[in-house]
Amino acid sequence: MRVLLLRASVCLALVQGSGSAPSLTGYSFSPKAYAKAVLHSCKHSAAPVLGLLLGSANGKVLKVADAIPLFHTHALGPMLKIACMLAEEHCKATWLTL
């Protein structure tokens, strides 16, 4: 499971690897993905923001190609579930992964 927390211009990456998956050594953001995440965070600087990062793992580098901003309030389970289902369908169409 990969979790990326973005706040203003600060990016904190946390990676939890399973025993069989190779550990990642780096992250690569496309300008589009980074801009979406940072601008969503800046626009709603007084509130927690939540979004999804889309990309692929290439060797030991996680390449983030796009970001989907979701909420700028606390996340509710049903809305988050529907958002993730829609994002998964988008990923299938664009050959990316969450």
8-25 residue pLDDT tens: 333 334 333 444 455 778
0.85 exceeded by pTM: no
pLDDT of 3 over the 60 cut: no
Q: Which residue, chain included where needed, has tokens 């979790």? A: 3
Q: Tens of pLDDT along 43-80?
A: 888 888 888 888 888 888 888 999 999 888 877 888 88
- β-strand partners of 97: 55
Q: Which residue, chain included where needed, has tokens 């796009």? A: 66
Closest among 51, 70, 54 to 62, alpha carbons compared: 54
Q: How far is CA 43 from CA 8, 12, 36, 49, in A?
A: 9, 19, 10, 10
